[in-house]
Structure 1
């Protein structure tokens, strides 16, 4: 290691912009201050960023140079540069206590990047929000939570318009047309926002963790490892029991429908592929080593994310069976996958949304 005469790391001092003869500790930036946690007064280290290195304004031989004046928070002279944000949400901002404002080194947003901005926060639930739904043609947003309630929000004002107490934790929530389906312990609630129909579909054993719709079937993944299916009855505007699919050993926590197939992810670390015509399991995928949290059909691919910190991309072979074609390793666990499509000036594009934690959301765009 390259040490100076006082036993310090010369490379570190040079990297901080301090000459070899400088030993003043005040030429170092306090890393506790950078993290917003310094409580020393007085602090022997700097509570500001160091100035930029000298800028050459004359010939290449260095005969004329100009140093930037000392300034705080990255400001140089009369010009300013944007503060480089760390990929971490400011905990003080979350608590409404950060005093640095736009100068804070940490994110004052749930998103990192351009194109998205926070409109408002819908506050009211006391526990984890486990599902949201925006029915077709509705100006109301519905959110379900483990606090055993569903809240109705006005999309224009962001105000809560009502609270429905359900008496059980909401495990999942989806909408299909005017219908809203809510998974509860031992039951699935079905609401029609146009006719105000309120149905209770019995049959599940334990918490309902996942719901999907396909081939005129309503499908629910349950805590006992089974998948219950109901057939929509247009004459009665209701749902008749159709089948119970049993193959998983543990709870079914994710469902998705694509290409006349049903894909189910489970706490038994497997993915089952079902035919929606015969309601039979036609393939079992076992490449994940932990719970399969979310599934997504994207074009000809199946995407899966798991608590094993991987996202796998599956593609069908000539035989029709799915095989892993790509595995993406994540630093953090990915809990949920969602795809959002849009069309601008007749040019389609899509965004893959990956939710890693309550403060980490990734957006991948594909042309």
Structure 2
């Protein structure tokens, strides 16, 4: 199969060669026939060489000898048989050119898809081979775990087993942040705009060169659209329009422009997104109408002006005025000025009818009106009036086939322009699909006892921002582009992620506080020996919505699920209490642990708790009963836990430094992640990776597929109490 470059070169060579051959042979074609005002039909088919061989002078030669100027040769001098023959020849040539463009487009599409697949494979290979620390992975249970599990409390219970369909749907919704279609579209646009700005900054030199190429092609397009009909106006007639040779010159420019568009699509470093083959063709092929429309309208003006009929002359005048104002002045001067203000060049590309390339460029919000005005100006200033005037010509003057084709192109171009204005989103085509696979574009936030909050680019492993609080940070949460951190000074602080600036504070007396957040609310607990409470805050108004009595202890555990709050019980720190956030009332208690509760996690059907008694317990939210005990031996201080579908991950920040992976189906340990040199304080997951922080002042990223440690993040000067990780744009 031809490569995209080979296909583009072949397409250009074939088209240009055929155009030149047609031009060279035009003097010997039926275009050179003498005028036949008094000739019969057969005399019109007589060529100049036949006349000379018979010893007779042509009418043109007689006129020249008499001192009369040669008459202009027009399309009326063609016989019907010659017209049919030329229509077949040139129609075949146009069809072959279109086919070559289609083949070239498919080659370019295949090249882009192959390159994208190769990049994704390379990235996956690099991630799998990028292990920056020495770690051990114990498959199938590990040393000493299963025997203890068999003898542990609750080992005979089958547990709740696999996740139900409802719980799996919840897990998937949690991973995608449960966005509504409107919220998802807003995030896609925001993410695409930020990414497009970064790409433009990185490729400023290239964009300058691309703008020069586009302006050069636009100038040639304008000159050819207006100049060719004017230069060849003497050959135009009411019935048959122009010679096909004239159109072939514009066809050559059309093919060159479309090949350049495909080349830019294939090689342009700012074109990042991919689209399906159907969308690819829908963007590429219909753009032919818009490109040809400016040329056919100029042809229509000259054809109407070639008719001696008074109505035709009047229509030609109106067509010329509409073309001068609506096309030359408004589109090619006024709209060009505004298009040049677009830093993305999407409007300039659209002005040149490169719709495929334009759809792959993210449009800045302040340039959307330019895009819309370009569509409106084409419809109101060119297509509608030209289609109306050309239809009147067909009805009251002549039924010219070329004029009919111009009407069809005007209507088609108008409908396409309005559709593009209505359907155009700010983000480039294919951005939505890339948005779903943006796992490598993530940010990790860490709260440390060194009094700082750090932002990490997970892909590069670099710290991108350090927020200096001056007070030990105990926990963090995130919501709608804001960070929330708890400290020992009695305040919950809100930070703007992009700038690292503090925007407001929530007063919560007590130290060693924890904070959790949802879309529009925050929940906190602080160690206050006089009046410990769980607080619910409105992130919209900043007001405290309600207080719930909390226990007096060193550190409580808290988890919010829907309208339920699960937290360390007030009356006994070894129990888990459930409250209704709607009414603020106590619902029930989960009893069974023999030590204080340190960590909680809940789905719609089950609750998981970690305790200082060295166990994790699974509870049925339907019955309130304990359904399984995960016995983490040696009575470790089990603190952080998280759940990914039917897998439980827990760590012990007492004696051990490992992270255990348990099956919620069988209740057995599947493997252990080992690599930290001190107790693990926090764990979290995103897609196929696990992240952990430790007293050893490091953060580690683990692959859930292979169990390998992918990288270690270092920089904090004291232990890291809490981490969260999320997509960079959220």
1:232 aligns with 2:570: no
Deviation at 1:173, TM superposition (A): 1.4
Write the mapping of 1:13-92 to structure 2, written as runs, cut at 5 A: none
Q: Name the one with the larger helix percent.
A: 2
Q: Normalising by structure 2, what TM-score?
A: 0.31
- The answer for the alignment partner of 1:283 in structure 2 is 628
- The answer for the alignment partner of 1:356 in structure 2 is 694
Contact 2:577 2:589 in 1 (8 A): yes
2:682 alignment partner, one of 336, 339, 342: 336
SS at match of 1:325: strand
- The answer for the alignment partner of 2:662 in structure 1 is 314
- The answer for the alignment partner of 1:265 in structure 2 is 610
2:567 alignment partner, one of 194, 199, 220: 220
Write the mapping of 1:235-250 to structure 2, written as runs, cut at 5 A: 238-250=583-595
1:297 aligns with 2:643: yes
- The answer for the alignment partner of 2:521 in structure 1 is 179
- The answer for the alignment partner of 2:282 in structure 1 is none
Deviation string for 1:242-265 (max 9, x for gaps)?
A: 122222222111111246211111
Q: Quickly say closer, same or farther: Cα 1:330–1:209, change in 2 above 3 A.
A: farther
In structure 2, C-alpha distance between the alignment counterparts of 1:116 and 1:171, rounded to whole Å: 29
Contact 1:269 1:288 in 2 (8 A): yes
Q: Normalising by structure 1, what TM-score?
A: 0.60
In structure 2, C-alpha distance between the alignment counterparts of 1:86 and 1:300, rounded to whole Å: 28
Q: Quickly say closer, same or farther: Cα 1:353–1:86, change in 2 above 3 A.
A: closer
In structure 1, C-alpha distance between the alignment counterparts of 2:702 and 2:457, rounded to whole Å: 12
Higher relative contact order (CA 8 A, sep 6+): 2
Deviation at 1:313, TM superposition (A): 1.2
Contact 2:676 2:696 in 1 (8 A): no
- The answer for the alignment partner of 1:131 in structure 2 is 475
Contact 1:311 1:330 in 2 (8 A): no
Contact 2:598 2:611 in 1 (8 A): yes
Deviation string for 1:132-172 (max 9, x for gaps)?
A: 1222xx34321002333211212232112233442201442
In structure 1, C-alpha distance between the alignment counterparts of 2:554 and 2:589, rounded to whole Å: 16
In structure 1, C-alpha distance between the alignment counterparts of 2:469 and 2:649, rounded to whole Å: 33
- The answer for the alignment partner of 2:137 in structure 1 is none
Contact 1:111 1:361 in 2 (8 A): no
Structure 1 unaligned spans of 5+ = 1-84, 88-94, 96-108, 342-349
Contact 1:216 1:232 in 2 (8 A): yes
Give aligned pairs, total: 245
Larger Rg over CA atoms: 2
In structure 1, C-alpha distance between the alignment counterparts of 2:699 and 2:543, rounded to whole Å: 35
In structure 1, C-alpha distance between the alignment counterparts of 2:555 and 2:605, rounded to whole Å: 23
In structure 1, C-alpha distance between the alignment counterparts of 2:657 and 2:458, rounded to whole Å: 23
Q: Quickly say closer, same or farther: Cα 1:117–1:150, change in 2 above 3 A.
A: same
In structure 1, C-alpha distance between the alignment counterparts of 2:541 and 2:458, rounded to whole Å: 41
In structure 2, C-alpha distance between the alignment counterparts of 1:165 and 1:230, rounded to whole Å: 22
SS at match of 2:551: strand
Contact 1:188 1:208 in 2 (8 A): no
Contact 2:676 2:694 in 1 (8 A): no
Structure 2 unaligned spans of 5+ = 1-131, 135-449, 706-730
Higher mean displacement: 209-218 or 173-182: 209-218
SS at match of 1:204: coil
Q: Quickly say closer, same or farther: Cα 1:173–1:329, change in 2 above 3 A.
A: same
Higher mean displacement: 109-118 or 267-276: 109-118
SS at match of 2:568: strand
Q: Quickly say closer, same or farther: Cα 1:190–1:125, change in 2 above 3 A.
A: farther
Q: Name the one with the larger strand percent.
A: 1
Q: Give the root-mean-square deviation of aligned CA atoms.
A: 2.9
Contact 2:579 2:588 in 1 (8 A): yes
In structure 1, C-alpha distance between the alignment counterparts of 2:455 and 2:478, rounded to whole Å: 21
SS at match of 2:461: coil
SS at match of 1:268: coil
In structure 1, C-alpha distance between the alignment counterparts of 2:525 and 2:518, rounded to whole Å: 14
Deviation at 1:224, TM superposition (A): 1.9
Deviation at 1:114, TM superposition (A): 4.8
Deviation at 1:215, TM superposition (A): 5.7
Q: Quickly say closer, same or farther: Cα 1:268–1:193, change in 2 above 3 A.
A: same
Contact 1:170 1:182 in 2 (8 A): no
